[in-house]
Amino acid sequence: MFLVKVRLQLPAKVNWTLRVLGKRPDGFHELRSWFVAVDICDTLEAVPAECSSLSVTGPFGEGLNEVDENLVLKAERKWRKSGGDAPPISWMLEKNIPIGGGLGGGSSNAAGALWLLERSATCTVGNDKLVDLAASLGSDVPFFFSGQDAELRGGKGEELLKRVPSPDAWLVFVCPPVEVSTAKVYTNLGASGLIAENAPTAEVNRSIFPAVPGPNDLESTACDVYPQLAEISRKLAAVADSQDIPRFYLSGSGGCFFTVCSDAPTAHDLARVVSSLEADILVARTHSGAVLPLLSS
């Protein structure tokens, strides 16, 4: 029975690579993408209350209080509609993952809400239904709910194709104040010959985890749609050349760029180099093991 406060750390993710293979009959695009969780974490807390509510704090929490489209609240509504039962919940979300940055913060929050609801419920919905609920909330949510280490994902991002140990790496993130609309990026991707049959076989079937990130087939379009991203991208390319490091790539549809460093001192040194850019600079390590703790059966 849900009697006490429960708290959970919710990692972000990067799209280590992202290939767009073509447009599907349902209007979505077929993807192949390596997902890797990273230790930039939102914190989600659930407390039994007289009535349900949501409070959002943290450096990226502005404007998110009591918004019906918030994925925490959507996850709760769907869970209850599917037969889950728990007392009303006061949700407290600390947002440390940039919004609209391609790091999956909203999806991670939705997965965490499902996890907390199921763990603390008076009546659970069961693991099979939870997996279906996760997929219905967004294509990235299944990775956060049941993902582990580095995963090659297909479909819209909801299909697990392969899993390998996460790389042990430090990442530097450059996140300009641009909240990117994923739908807008895909809409502008356009009819640019992205047909699965024309995609190189090596890319379609690629299942070996690459040592360095990239490419990201959405980056060019995102930079066209959001000129501020294009400007940041040009500056980061110059930094990568001067520092002799792997280039910065966009994660997902953007707008956060990231690159990989071998250790913490190198990552923090690079963060200082790019600190003059008009962006939030974050340093994080890759996350190993399950993205969320495993629910007891």
C-alpha torsion 113→8→43→82, nearest 10: 0
In CATH terms, the fold of domain 1-297 is: Ribosomal Protein S5; domain 2 (3.30.230)
Mean pLDDT of 180-194: 79
Given a cut of 80, is residue 264 above it in pLDDT? yes
pTM over 0.85: yes
Residue-averaged pLDDT of the chain = 90
Given a cut of 80, is residue 9 above it in pLDDT? yes
| Catalytically annotated residue among 13, 23, 74, 95 | 13
State both tokens at 253.
């549809």
What local confidence, expressed as pLDDT, does residue 202 receive? Answer: 45
Q: For residues 26 and 70, what is the distance between their CA atoms, to the nearest angstrom? A: 25
What local confidence, expressed as pLDDT, does residue 44 receive? Answer: 97
Does 42 participate in catalysis according to the annotation?
Answer: no
What local confidence, expressed as pLDDT, does residue 198 receive? Answer: 43
| Catalytically annotated residue among 42, 140, 149, 217 | 140
What local confidence, expressed as pLDDT, does residue 200 receive? Answer: 45
Residue ranges of domains in the chain: 1-297
Higher pLDDT, 195 or 164: 164
What local confidence, expressed as pLDDT, does residue 238 receive? Answer: 96
What local confidence, expressed as pLDDT, does residue 25 receive? Answer: 84
Closest CA relative to residue 115, chosen from 250, 7, 265: 7
Does 13 participate in catalysis according to the annotation?
Answer: yes
